[in-house]
Structure 1
Amino acid sequence: MKIVDPRIRLEELATGASVSLAGLSAMLGRGPAYLQQWVRYGRPRHLAERDRRRLADFFGVAEGELGGEAGAPSAWRVPRLDVAASAGPGALVEGEAMLGLDTVPADTARSLGLKQGETAIIRVAGDSMAPGLLDGDRLLIDQTARTPDARGGVYVVRIDGVLLVKRVRRERGRLVVGSDNPDAAAVPGGSVEVIGRAVWQMRRPV
């Protein structure tokens, strides 16, 4: 298989789509000469990952054609589970069947320190974590992050079979689970199982 220089490949793609390098640079939020300098003089040596991904998405090609890792996807497909992490009274969970797959930008996932196969997406139900989290929000969960520290964070927990999204911190060797909404009902007592930490909030614009 012939390997084409990514700078030559970008020129070919731009010519084929009748777009200028200056126009593509503007799309990336860069100065008008950004891509021309890369194509003509190799400066910068490599495109920034974000820029390469946006160009690959724009032209519908793999990032490997523009200097990225061969075959590296520009987006992750993350399982969306058939559960709602209640931010209200709580939802009993009998299973966690996969509803489908959602797309998460690969560079976003990597910037969050995530690894493929260790994430899931769940939906928030209720308003006890308002105004930060609203009913219907989707949360990207890092299933390897199960040890809250003293600073705490937003976690999905299971308390006696009830799945909740709450703010959790460790205090004097025990987990403290609470809501952000001061008007929310008290968190039920019981043994706390940490499912994972919410690392990214996915909300459709309103």
Structure 2
Amino acid sequence: MPGSPRDVLNRLCAERGEDFAGLSRLIGRNPAYIQQFVKRGVPKRLDERDRRTLARYFDVPETLLGAPEVPGNGSRGLIPISRIEIRASAGPGAYTDDEAKRPPYFAFDERWLRNLTGSAVQDLTLIRVEGDSMASTLADGDDILIDQSDGVERLRDGIYVLRLDEALMVKRLAIHPVTRRITVQSDNPAYADWPDCSLEQLSIIGRVIWAARRIA
């Protein structure tokens, strides 16, 4: 489960490189306010205005920061999705020495998620993009949702996460309609494509089905 609002906020800060003092200033509080909330539990819960501001800033559901569920909103609840603490490189490659799932900080509306995919929750994973070879489709720091059940068996043109020499990469795959040979493409024209690859040369982790981006 996502954990308490203090745990969620602490993870968000650590994973996105934010500091407590900066977040306190964001909501118009004294510099120690968020640190006291996270570390000491003071106040016991975030003010509604502060909670809403932080949820919008981090682009997460407000319920993760303590907002009550609203009955009758047409949804059956929120589904948390685990995140692997690695990055899928849109560049030279991100190594997977510490490939372990951590408690999720993203939770998706169940109805929205079911409209996106019919795959089982355990087949869905969030990872973060590193590098610019997939710009402007995917940017450095984007969070992407991977469907690990949508891989080799249903392979088609699209964006996938691949494992190459123990590194993870996110690339576009284009399949020749006759030979079924694969071209591994970067959306950024500054990067070269890898043409005429066989399926045996690629270890496909899953298909990218959704991306979240922080607007600067």
Shorter-chain TM-score: which interval?
0.5 to 0.7
Summarize the alignment of residues 81-96 of structure 1 with structure 2, pairs less than 5 Å apart: 81-96=84-99
Cα distance in 1 for residues equivalent to 2:202 and 2:108: 29
The 1:131–1:118 alpha-carbon spacing in structure 2 relative to 1, beyond 3 Å, is same
Q: Distance in 2 between matches of 1:129 and 1:85?
A: 11
Alpha-carbon contact 2:88-2:161 (below 8 Å) kept? yes
Counterpart residue number, 1:177: 184
2:86 matched to 1:78? Answer: no
Which residue number corresponds to residue 115 of structure 2? 111
2:160 corresponds to:
155
Using the alignment, how far apart are the partners of 1:169 and 1:186 within structure 2?
A: 10
Q: CA deviation at 1:109?
A: 1.2
In 1, the alpha carbon distance for the partners of 2:194 and 2:86 equals 19
Q: CA deviation at 1:75?
A: 1.5
What displacement does 1:165 show? 0.2
Counterpart of 1:35 in structure 2 is none
Bigger Rg, structure 1 or 2: 1
Deviation at 1:67, TM superposition (A): 9.0
2:207 to 190, 197, 204: 197
176 and 201 in structure 1: CA distance in 2 versus 1, 3 angstrom threshold: same
CA contact (8 A) 2:183 2:194 kept: no
Q: Is 1:99 the counterpart of 2:102 in the alignment?
A: yes
Q: Unpaired segments of 5 or more residues in structure 2?
A: 1-66
SS in structure 1 of the partner of residue 137 of structure 2: coil
The separation in 1 between residues aligned to 2:193 and 2:185, in whole angstroms, is 8
Q: Aligned partners of 2:83 and 2:69: how far apart in 1?
A: 26
Say if 1:184 and 1:61 are closer, same or farther in 2 by CA, change over 3 A. same
Shift in Å, 1:98? 1.6
Q: Find the aligned partners of 2:185 and 2:81 in 1 and give their Cα distance.
A: 28
Using structure 2 for the length normalisation, give the TM-score.
0.58
The whole-number CA distance in structure 2 between the counterparts of 1:124 and 1:67 is: 33
Deviations, residues 139-196 of structure 1 (Å, cap 9, x unaligned): 011111103645x111101122221000013222233211000102555988201111
Shift of 1:118: 1.2
For 2:68, the equivalent position in structure 1 comes to 60
Q: How many residues align?
A: 143
In terms of fraction of residues, the more helix-rich structure is 2
Conserved? CA contact 2:133–2:190, under 8 Å: yes
Helix, strand or coil at the partner of 1:117:
helix
CA distance in 1, matches of 2:86, 2:79: 21
Structure 2 vs 1, CA of residues 89 and 185 (structure 1 numbering), >3 Å: closer, same or farther?
A: farther
- RMSD after superposition: 2.7
State the SS of the aligned residue for 2:121. coil
Of stretches 107-116 and 155-164 in structure 1, the one that deviates more from structure 2 is 107-116
SS in 1 for 2:111: helix
Cα deviation, residue 68, structure 1: 6.5
